[in-house]
């Protein structure tokens, strides 16, 4: 007969306090206050502020009553307080998982005991030991608390695992919750633990997907790249374009032009056609303007 393992201390029940009358209740008993009929709430309520008074009460008794009314108004702001023994329920959950797996192992051994006793070869015996060790590892896979020998060595007591081991257990439990192979009465140590774990896993997946998409939409030139800035060039006339291109400053802007035609800026005379006629018209207009100015100067004299 195996020695029964000690059970951890009974955890404190989930309690809540009414934010109106400050009365404590066990959540498993009632969600409604028996004093003021308020229902257990978790929402924030606006704090009641007292109106400013022009004169303060002169009597000490009236001042005490005024302070009491103000304190009652400030206490009526929500939400209701609640207390949950996370460590106690985690220890009880680890003990429950150990007890359930141990009972399942004993039932499995009784069911196959007769057939195993008839087979006395070493291979079967080794297989039985492997099955027991595998069941032990499965039992400890989701335990955040363990039995440890006390300082005196006389008995065993429950103690939490180190933080690194607890993190590994929580990751394994999260994978179990995600694939839906859990039992809330066996694997959850506090209310809706599986729901919170699945929600946190989905949030991390969404963040990872957003980061991956941002990486796919990054610029093609990579890190440290930049745009190459070109200086604006002046417009080129069609004749310049035919000759190879030259801007107003006499710089070559297009390849393939004749070198001799691009050494100096192109003038209107090189465009061909009516260059000389335009120069003669300009000279005639200039001489006419000078004649008019001389006539005006002689009249003034």
Q: Are strands 15-17 and 81-83 parallel, antiparallel or unpaired?
A: antiparallel
pLDDT values of the chain reduced to their tens digit, one per residue, 301 residues: 556 678 888 899 999 999 889 999 999 999 999 999 999 998 765 544 444 444 555 677 777 777 766 655 545 567 898 999 999 999 998 888 888 876 665 666 566 565 555 555 555 545 555 555 554 555 567 888 888 877 766 678 888 888 888 889 888 998 889 888 888 888 899 889 999 999 998 999 999 998 888 877 655 555 555 545 445 555 555 545 455 555 545 555 544 444 444 444 444 444 455 555 566 666 777 777 777 777 777 777 6
- Would you state the structure tokens that stand for residue 120, as one six-digit string? 């006395």
User: What is residue 227's predicted lDDT score, i.e. its pLDDT?
Assistant: 46
User: What is residue 50's predicted lDDT score, i.e. its pLDDT?
Assistant: 43
CA dihedral 166, 172, 176, 182 (to 10 degrees): -40
Q: Which DSSP letter does residue 94 get?
A: H
User: What is residue 48's predicted lDDT score, i.e. its pLDDT?
Assistant: 46
Sheet containing strand 24-26, strands side by side: 24-26, 15-17, 81-83
């Amino acid at each position: 007969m195996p020695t029964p393992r000690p059970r951890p201390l009974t955890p404190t029940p989930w309690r809540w306090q009414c934010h109106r009358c400050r009365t404590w209740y066990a959540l498993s008993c009632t969600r409604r206050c028996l004093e003021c009929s308020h229902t257990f709430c978790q929402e924030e309520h606006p704090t009641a502020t007292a109106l400013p008074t022009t004169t303060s009460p002169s009597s000490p008794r009236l001042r005490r009553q005024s302070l009491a009314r103000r304190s009652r108004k400030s206490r009526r702001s929500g939400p209701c307080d609640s207390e949950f023994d996370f460590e106690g329920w985690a220890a009880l959950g680890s003990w429950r998982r150990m007890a359930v797996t141990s009972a399942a192992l004993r039932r499995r051994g009784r069911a196959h005991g007769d057939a195993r006793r008839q087979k006395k070869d070493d291979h079967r015996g080794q297989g039985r030991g492997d099955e027991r060790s595998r069941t032990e590892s499965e039992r400890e896979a989701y335990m955040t608390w363990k039995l440890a020998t006390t300082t005196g060595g006389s008995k065993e007591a429950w103690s939490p695992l180190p933080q690194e081991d607890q993190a590994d257990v929580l990751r394994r439990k999260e994978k179990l919750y995600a694939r839906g192979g859990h039992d809330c009465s066996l694997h959850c140590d506090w209310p809706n633990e599986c729901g919170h774990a699945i929600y946190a896993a989905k949030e991390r997946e969404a963040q990872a997907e957003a980061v991956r998409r941002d990486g796919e939409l990054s610029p093609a030139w990579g890190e440290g790249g930049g745009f190459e800035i070109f200086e604006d060039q002046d417009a080129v006339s069609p004749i310049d374009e035919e000759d190879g291109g030259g801007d107003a400053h006499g710089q070559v802007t297009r390849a393939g032009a004749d070198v001799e035609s691009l050494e100096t800026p192109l003038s209107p005379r090189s465009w061909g056609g009516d260059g000389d006629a335009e120069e003669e018209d300009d000279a005639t207009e200039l001489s006419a303007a000078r004649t008019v100015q001389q006539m005006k100067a002689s009249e003034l004299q």
